[in-house]
């Protein structure tokens, strides 16, 4: 067991101990207390006592203390059996402890694309999503209004990811109206650390009590560098590993996704299995789709690149990855294709790459890169978490402290993140909401499907795997430098250590030089 896992276990045990059965038994029946006792410790039966177990206990404790009538057992709560469950809910009263200005005549929503806002506004207002979409994007359409009667204005800067920040900055600098705005986690922190551009959620009367069903890792993403909750990660993007089940059986002898998970359940096992496949296929089949895919999963939550005093920090784990990647590259265990290229897609179609590291957004949309890579191979693919749970993307809502519609900002956020009915609808618009309760039920019902994925996975319940992955994600903290640092690391490992065959010390020094050049405001040890 790693030091990191031990620390998580100790923390979880402390929390679980604090929430004693004596405390819970005062809230629930004897039968339910007995059921809780059978699960005490490793709550989710994943073989670890960790932060996920602690989060589940907290959620169940919160639910049991507020439920009307007799709560369901802990087992049913975990399984999402909600037929007789009084669901925890957050008050949607728009006048609760809102300290920001109210009374404005226009509620302006700022986004970098058009993908989520129409469905979220439709859920909030109760209007038809197609009607909302047509009118949000038409100057001549009917005027849309918030539930409080305020005009809705939508500004879509129509930009890719972080490039949207340039357009955002122009709007903020001009003083134009903007009440709430959307960002991705890897660039949202630039705004979250600026008190002039982002309000604390507490200013809307939203506290951690309202986050009981959030996945644990998203609470870290919601905090700025000073630990203040500044964003609402409403849409999550857990990752998984998808693979050709027929090739897995041929080269590894595994017949089920459970057996595959055992074969690649950590990075040591993944490396051994990749080398086995390369050897048995005579170098014709690689287990992993790309170095970039491996790095996306491996780097998630593993590094605290920037310390609290703004100093750069790089652990020995980076050399572990570099050596593993080089070993697999040399024997054909990982494809030599770059992500987002035609050859990268074709390698899946032709069986050259046996598996892909893929985020949830590659499953939810027909025509995604996964559906293209698996083209003409219906029923031949399967899915498991892989060597490590990770996230790849996601979306946040932030509040402009200059808003003059704080009540509507609160209402919009709660309607989008705390209303189960709305979140179910949002899921069917091809998303995964940040709510463990909703997703556990959807996973159990096994009803949510994108058609392409249904065919590819032969009806396998991939939603369950994505939900399980999201529950297991463990991150320390993150900084606004992380994406730049991660990009420099994997670029130099590939170019210098693997392809250039330089020794590790030289490759590491080159990596450090490039990171320093790209991040001038970081502190460096002599």
Confidence of residue 470 (pLDDT cuts 50, 70, 90): very high
Q: CA dihedral in degrees (9, 15, 18, 20; nearest 10)?
A: -70
pLDDT for the residue 449: 65
Domains 106-236+393-445 and 239-390+467-518 agree in fold: yes
β-bridge partners, 306? 312
d(CA 300, CA 298): 6
Q: Which residues of 156-181 are buried (b: 16+ CB within 10 A; e: fewer)?
A: bbeeeeeebbebbeebbeeeebbbbb
For 446: left if phi > 0, alpha if psi spans -120 to 50, otherwise beta; the answer is: left
pLDDT for the residue 52: 53
What is the arithmetic mean of pLDDT over 266-291? 98
Whether the Cβ atoms of residue 325 and residue 297 lie closer than 8 Å to each other: no
Q: Which tokens is 317 given? A: 């784990």
pLDDT for the residue 456: 85
Distances (CA, A) of 447 to 417, 428, 462: 21, 10, 11
Q: Which residues, in sequence order, are CB contacts of 132 under 8 Å at separation 6+?
A: 118, 119, 121, 122, 125, 144
Confidence of residue 295 (pLDDT cuts 50, 70, 90): very high
Domain positions in the chain are 3-79, 106-236+393-445, 239-390+467-518
pLDDT digits (tens, 9 = 90+) for 349-389: 999 999 999 999 887 766 788 889 988 788 899 999 999 99
Q: Is the pLDDT of residue 81 over 80?
A: no
Q: Is the pLDDT of residue 120 over 50?
A: yes
Distances (CA, A) of 28 to 37, 64, 65, 210, 233: 12, 7, 8, 22, 32
pLDDT for the residue 431: 78
Q: Is the pLDDT of residue 448 over 50?
A: yes
| ∠ CA 508-511-515, rounded to 5° | 140
In terms of average pLDDT, the best of 34-43, 71-80, 110-119 is 110-119
Q: Is the pLDDT of residue 75 over 80?
A: no
| ∠ CA 201-202-207, rounded to 5° | 90
Q: Is the pLDDT of residue 484 over 80?
A: yes
Q: Which tokens is 161 given? A: 């990811």
Whether the Cβ atoms of residue 84 and residue 29 lie closer than 8 Å to each other: no
In terms of average pLDDT, the best of 156-165, 377-386, 456-465 is 377-386
d(CA 361, CA 184): 13
d(CA 193, CA 199): 10
Who wins on pLDDT, 111 or 7?
111
pLDDT for the residue 510: 93
d(CA 318, CA 323): 9
Confidence of residue 316 (pLDDT cuts 50, 70, 90): confident
Residue that has been written with the tokens 């640092």 in this structure: 485
Confidence of residue 443 (pLDDT cuts 50, 70, 90): confident
pLDDT digits (tens, 9 = 90+) for 219-264: 999 999 999 999 999 999 999 999 999 999 999 999 999 999 999 9
pTM of structure: 0.82
Q: How buried is residue 47: exposed, middle or buried, by Cβ count under 10 Å (0-12/13-18/19+)?
A: exposed
Fold (CATH) for 239-390+467-518: D-Maltodextrin-Binding Protein; domain 2 (3.40.190)
Residue 64 phi/psi, 5-degree rounding, is -65, -30
What is the arithmetic mean of pLDDT over 46-68? 55
Confidence of residue 450 (pLDDT cuts 50, 70, 90): low
CATH of domain 106-236+393-445: 3.40.190.10
In terms of average pLDDT, the best of 73-77, 373-377, 383-387, 438-442 is 383-387
Q: Which residues, in sequence order, are CB contacts of 464 under 8 Å at separation 6+?
A: 443, 444, 446
The percent of residues in the chain predicted with pLDDT above 90, rounded, is 55
């Amino acid at each position: 067991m790693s030091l990191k896992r031990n620390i998580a276990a100790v923390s979880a045990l402390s929390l679980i101990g604090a929430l004693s059965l004596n405390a819970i038994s005062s809230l629930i029946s004897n039968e339910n207390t007995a059921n809780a006792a059978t699960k005490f410790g490793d709550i989710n039966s994943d073989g670890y006592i960790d932060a996920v177990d602690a989060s589940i206990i907290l959620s169940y404790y919160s639910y049991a203390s507020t439920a009307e009538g007799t709560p369901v057992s802990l087992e049913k709560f975990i399984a999402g059996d909600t037929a007789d469950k009084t669901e925890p809910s957050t008050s949607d009263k728009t006048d609760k402890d809102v300290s920001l200005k109210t009374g404005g005549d226009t509620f302006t929503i700022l986004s970098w694309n058009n993908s989520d806002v129409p469905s979220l506004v439709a859920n909030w207002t109760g209007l038809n999503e197609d009607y909302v979409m047509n009118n949000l994007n038409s100057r001549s359409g009917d005027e849309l209004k918030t539930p409080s009667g305020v005009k809705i204005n939508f500004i879509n800067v129509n930009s890719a990811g972080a490039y949207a920040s340039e357009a955002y900055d122009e709007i903020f600098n001009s003083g134009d109206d903007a009440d709430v705005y959307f960002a991705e986690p890897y660039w949202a922190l630039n705004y979250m650390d600026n008190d002039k551009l982002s309000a604390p959620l507490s200013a809307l009367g939203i506290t951690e009590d309202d986050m009981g069903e959030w996945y644990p890792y998203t609470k870290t993403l919601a905090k700025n560098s000073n630990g203040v909750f500044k964003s609402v990660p409403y849409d999550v993007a857990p990752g998984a590993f998808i693979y050709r089940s027929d090739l897995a059986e041929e080269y590894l002898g595994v017949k089920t996704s459970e057996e595959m998970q055992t074969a690649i359940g950590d990075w040591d096992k993944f490396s051994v299995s990749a080398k086995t496949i390369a050897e048995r296929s005579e170098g014709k089949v690689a287990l992993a789709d790309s170095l970039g895919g491996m790095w996306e999963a491996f780097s998630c939550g593993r590094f605290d690149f920037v310390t609290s005093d703004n100093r750069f920090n790089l652990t020995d784990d980076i050399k572990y990855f570099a050596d593993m990647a080089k070993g697999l590259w040399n024997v054909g265990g990982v494809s030599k294709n770059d992500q987002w290229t035609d050859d990268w897609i074709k390698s899946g179609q032709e069986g050259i790459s046996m598996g892909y590291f893929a985020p949830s957004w590659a499953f939810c949309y027909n025509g995604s890169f996964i559906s293209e890579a698996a083209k003409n191979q219906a029923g031949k693919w399967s899915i498991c978490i892989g060597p490590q749970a990770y996230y790849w993307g996601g979306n946040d809502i932030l509040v402009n402290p200059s808003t003059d519609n704080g009540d509507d900002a609160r209402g919009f956020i709660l309607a989008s993140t705390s209303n189960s009915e709305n979140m179910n609808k949002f899921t069917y618009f091809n998303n995964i909401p940040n709510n463990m309760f909703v997703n556990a039920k959807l996973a159990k019902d096994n009803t949510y499907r994108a058609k392409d994925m249904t065919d590819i996975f032969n009806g396998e319940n991939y939603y369950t795997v994505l939900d399980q992955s999201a529950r297991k994600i463990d991150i320390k903290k993150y900084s606004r430098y992380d994406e730049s640092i991660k990009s420099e690391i994997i670029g130099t490992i590939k170019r210098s250590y693997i392809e250039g065959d330089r020794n590790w010390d030289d490759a590491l020094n080159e990596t450090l030089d490039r990171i320093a050049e790209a991040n001038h405001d970081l502190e460096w040890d002599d």
